[in-house]
Amino acid sequence: MRESGVYCELIPGTTAWETLRGRAPKALILSGGPASVYEPEAPLCDPAALTSGVPVLGICYGMQLLAHQLGGQVAGSARREYGPARLQVDDAGRLFEDLPPELAVWMSHGDTILKAPPGFRPIAHSANSAIAAIGDDHGRFGIQFHPEVMHTPQGREILSNFLYQVAGCRGLWKPAAFIEEAVLRIREQVGTGKVLCALSGGVDSAVCATLVHRAVPGQLTCLFVDHGLLRRDEGRRVEEVMNRHLGISLASVDASADFLRTLAGVTDPEDKRRRVGAAFIEVFDRAAARLSGVQFLAQGTLYPDVIESTSHDTHHAQRIKTHHNVGGLPADLRFTLIEPLRYLFKDEVRAIGTELGLPDDMVYRQPFPGPGLAVRIIGEVTRQRLETLRAADWIVIDEIKAAGLYRSLWQSFAVLTPLQSVGVMGDGRTYGNVVAIRAVQSEDGMTADWARLPYDVLAKISSRIVNEVPGINRVVYDISSKPPSTIEWE
């Protein structure tokens, strides 16, 4: 919605219509979700919201919910649809205006609509969904596919049609408007208090720090924690970039030994993430104790982190993995959190970073997980395994940049697996580790497709890793998309 220049807010779908009406919405959008409408505890909307006269667009589960609550029939499908599909538009109307009669779309559902509710008519179908879209004459529509993901190429046009042709919205919302609102909210929340910001060097924390600094200049202290789980030379580069471009005082803490002790013997991915999150807070707590009057902790949490971790405001979502800056925080956290980017996606944050004047090498730095290399080492994290992965990862990035592909990829990195395989080096038998290479393309990190890297680039990466990194004798390339896989292996 915001990419189309329309301001939107994310709220629980169970919110009462009386509350919604007070916000004077131009339209309501019901999102997808993992539930089935006929389950006993399936999340439902306030029926008054669906009959209020406000335009409604139901997406995936939202479409099924719209049909179910308005008198249609929904059931489990014998032929599920997960992945790419072809949509045949039977009635273009306002929703599919000026679009081809056949569209490539992305499906991800196990239930299907058997009968449209009274007053609605089917307006599109696919091979496995006789009713893949519905609509009525009052601005209410349902679509079984996901228009918000990059795998639905005309998805933005469909959403724009709903916003402009159906709901009568105007495209006046821009990144500058968000900056102004965020600065005012931070200023109101913080007052004269002091803020400690977790600075990693990535665009999320950089934009977060810049917003806080702009809102309350002189009240922000940035802290960079070297947890020993970073890529090669990253700590030094982070300090240089932060000091040179942001002009914000940056303190550094070397806590690598603490984090290694915390992760010793741990192999479960969720446990790793929770331990890294808890260790982060402990380090910040100690650092804050040396600063007088720090009340707030600023974090660059994004909405995909919130969705995948599930929290109080996404209580009907399904946990995919805990993010250290969302699900890993302790209940007795003594700081008040400031998360100005909590409801933004990465592409929006990059646009805001550009608007704030941050350098391109910071704005377009590939995302790096908060737990760092700990979740790119399958199994136990040790100092030796970290050094092995760091060396392999350096080669991946070096060759990706040399090929001019870095900016075209969402992420590219190496994964150290616990697998060992037989090899031959110097006419002798080896039994070394297997490294996996992951490179994906995405717009917001919610979905991703594996990158079709040139064979010569893959060959050079493989050759260099096997020859330059001790203990590695095999390299494989991950060709899984998200979904069904996640981008990270843990």
Query: Could you list the active site residues?
Result: 60, 146, 148
Q: What is the DSSP letter of 5?
A: T
Determine if the peptide bond prior to 484 is cis (ω within 30°).
Answer: yes
Give yes or no for a contact between 199 and 238, defined as CB atoms under 8 angstroms apart.
yes
Which residue's entry shows tokens 């994290």? 381
Instruction: Report the C-alpha gap between 331 and 2 in whole angstroms.
Output: 33
Give yes or no for a contact between 27 and 54, defined as CB atoms under 8 angstroms apart.
yes
> Widest CA span of the chain, in angstroms?
77
What count of other Cβ atoms lies within 10 Å of the Cβ of residue 472?
23
Residue type present at position 217: P
Give yes or no for a contact between 8 and 30, defined as CB atoms under 8 angstroms apart.
no
Residue 102 has which token pair? 């056949």
Nearby residues of 321 by Cβ (< 8 Å), 6 or more positions away: 269, 270, 273, 308, 309, 486, 488, 490
Give yes or no for a contact between 198 and 284, defined as CB atoms under 8 angstroms apart.
yes
Least Cα distance to 91 among 134, 48, 29 occurs for 134
Give the three-class secondary structure for 131. Answer: coil
**In Å, what is the CA distance from 448 to each residue of 17, 459, 475?**
35, 23, 22
In DSSP notation, 314-353 reads GTTS------TTTTTS-TT--SEEE-TTTT--HHHHHHHH
Give the three-class secondary structure for 88. Answer: strand
Give yes or no for a contact between 67 and 95, defined as CB atoms under 8 angstroms apart.
no
Nearby residues of 70 by Cβ (< 8 Å), 6 or more positions away: 50, 51, 117, 118, 119, 120
Give the three-class secondary structure for 89. Answer: strand
CA angle 370, 374, 375 (to 5 degrees): 75
